[in-house]
Amino acid sequence: MVYCGISFAYDLPLSTAPHKVEFLSDEAYFFDDNKTIVLKGRVKLDEIEDKNILVRTITAKELNVNLSSKTIVAPYDIIIDQNGTVIRGESGRINYAKNEGNINNGRIDAKNIIFRGKSIKFGTGRFVYKKASLTTCDRYPPHYEIKASMLDLIPGKRFVAYNTFFYLGKIPIFYFPVLYKPLGKGTPFVSSFFPGYDKRNGIYLKSDYMYRFGRYTKGKLFLDYFSGKGFGIGGEYDYHNRAKNISNLSVYRIKEYGSSNDRLGLNGGYWHLLNSGNSGVSYYSQSFFKWLSDPNFNNDFFRSNPFAVSPDKQANIAFTRQTGRSITRVSAESVYERNTVSNSFQKNYESAPKINFNTMPIKFQRLPFLHSFTANFESSKESGVSYYQEKGNVNWTVSNNFRLSERFTFYPSVFFDEGVFLSTASASDSWIGRYGTNLNMRYDRIFGSFDLKYAYKRRLQNNKFKNDNLSLDSGEEIKTLGYEIFIRPNYNMYFRSEADYDLRDYFSKSALRRISPITAEFYFTGKKLFSFYAQNTYSPSAGNQSIVSQINMGTDQNYIGFGLANYKTSKDTYIFNNTIGFKPANSSWRIESVFRYQLAKKSGLLLKDISFFERTFILYKDFHDFRTMWKFTRRPDVNEFFFLVNLKINSKTEEAADKSDAYWYPWRKNKEIRD
């Protein structure tokens, strides 16, 4: 039964069926022989379910409603509004009894994404496309689109596209078998692609897929292809709940063409609270590991990592008990250092187990001083030693502070330290004691402080409570008089300097050689995003040891930075670091550049003496529908170019960045998903 809002021939009775249609049109024709209504002109038809719930609204130039088969056919342009989702097509057919239908050459707009398909089959809240495309570009033809053989869409929830090609204009850029993305307020999914080229690996396509499983948890999958080296696969797992657990695991594996060995990187760690801690006692466990197959692994595949050529690999795990008065820690550790000759890792240290215990300063009754105790014991093996050494150490320190006046405070402390070595394969039991004192007189003013310090440490004979007077240093390991100055006239500036003078009696060197290197440090930051830092270390007897300085000026996008470093190991070589960022006002592009180079003073400060060891140029360009980044890097053994496209489809990238990345990967820039 149907209701005709405007009818030229005759009125139809009102429908009492649970599923019905109501329409308005310029013309309406009813054919009783086949129970068909033909609507023409400005047609508007509403499908209504039980309790007068509106299912969908259809507008078209012409509709044929067959009451027997309960179908609606649109031979020409049709628009369907279904629960807020608008479908446009050139023609279509709908079975309103089964609540399903088909649209030819259709289009659906879901938020900022436009979905098109040669044919669209739909039901209650679900749409299946064949020969589909999607884009965020509202122009036709679009600047870019992703074409798929099939696409499954649930508006407000997610879509899945199969056999996808990314087109820039009419040019296909790359292919991927499956593309998935949630569309609602639930967990975001972000996919990114990094096509590029470098001299070592050839043409490559790096891809990553990030999915947030919940409030604290996210995962990343890396799928990469290098034309010169093969396929790489990896991923990251993050859990970041500061109250209970902070965990990270990153793994990457590639078997290069022509090699029988896998190249592998495994990094991460965790901190986990084992109890509630409400009783005043906390138990927690923590670990950190950086495990690489070879020192050049990061330099070949993860070049933004600051440990491009890794100096070591290591792993440790610890269990800790902490109270208000003490901390007890049981741990195990392995450390491998890079051998620069063979460019491989060799074991330098391992301990299993190692036990550490220390107390907070304790004040016993009727005694005016604070007492603190530390103890440790370990079974360890060091580089060049073929056996494990069982050794330990106990320290007792007594300290206090005395306020002599408004501006003078005296901090004295004395200590006794006992080191124990148990019998091993090549040594017998032994213990060596040390004692000493640290005295500090501090002068305080509102703009800073001055410290005059005295430190003394003396060694006892092996297995005896006697001074080790027969040794070359007479048992005096430390005997220094020193100073430290810290001046901070206001919040944005400070100056610090320190040095020591060696007072040991056996020391026959001149007065200048007794002075330790003098360190001076200065920092200043201005109101207009200007900052300056400089540190210099100077030895009165050996000359300048090092100088490090950095100047930064500008905003986040318009800036310039200049750094200088010089070290005593290469006194005639100056290392420079320049960074530049520039973005014109109201522009859709900006640039960044990094230049790291050295000047070797051979025959004077000449341009021919300058050698670059890194040059990087980055262009950021925002288009109508997507953002791009073009990066060029050149340094020894590395000539690389890569291109990043971030679609508006991935607009939730900023929401996906969180504190976990800043905790585990502090070198990554904002919104940077991977190294």
Sorted by where each begins, the domain ranges of the chain are 1-98, 361-516
Provide the residue type at 405 as one letter. S
Tell me the DSSP string of 172-200: EEEEEEEEEEE-SSS--EEEEEEEEEETT
Spell out the long-range contacts of 375-384 with Cβ–Cβ below 8 A and sequence spacing 24 or more: 378/351, 378/353, 378/354, 379/351, 379/352, 379/353, 379/354, 380/349, 380/350, 380/351, 380/352, 380/354, 381/349, 381/350, 381/351, 382/348, 382/349, 383/337, 383/346, 383/347, 383/348, 383/349
CB 575 within 8 A of CB 565: yes
Give the number of other CB atoms < 10 A from CB of residue 6.
11
Cα separation, 1 vs 67, in Å, equals: 7
CA 478-480-486 angle, 5° bins: 125
What's the confidence (pLDDT) of residue 9?
44
Distances in whole angstroms, Cα of residue 212 to Cα of each of 240, 243, 270, 653: 12, 19, 19, 11
Distances in whole angstroms, Cα of residue 349 to Cα of each of 316, 336, 424, 626, 660: 11, 7, 17, 50, 30
Residue 476's contacts (CB-CB under 8 Å, 6 or more residues apart) are: 456, 457, 458, 459, 504, 505, 506
Beta bridge partners of 181: 159
Residue indicated by tokens 């310029």 = 26
CB 122 within 8 A of CB 142: no
CB 18 within 8 A of CB 1: no
Output phi, psi for 648, to 5 deg.
-65, -20
Length of the chain, in residues: 675
Tokens of 440: 């500090």
pLDDT along the chain (675 residues), means of 10: 43 53 83 84 82 82 86 88 83 84 86 85 85 83 86 84 85 79 65 80 85 83 91 92 91 92 92 85 93 89 79 93 93 91 88 92 84 93 82 94 94 95 70 95 94 96 90 90 95 94 83 92 88 94 92 90 90 89 90 89 64 88 78 82 69 52 77 74
What's the confidence (pLDDT) of residue 333?
93
Tokens of 147: 């074409």
Distances in whole angstroms, Cα of residue 422 to Cα of each of 37, 298, 358, 393, 434: 101, 41, 22, 11, 18
Provide the residue type at 94 as one letter. I
What's the confidence (pLDDT) of residue 658?
62
What's the confidence (pLDDT) of residue 670?
67
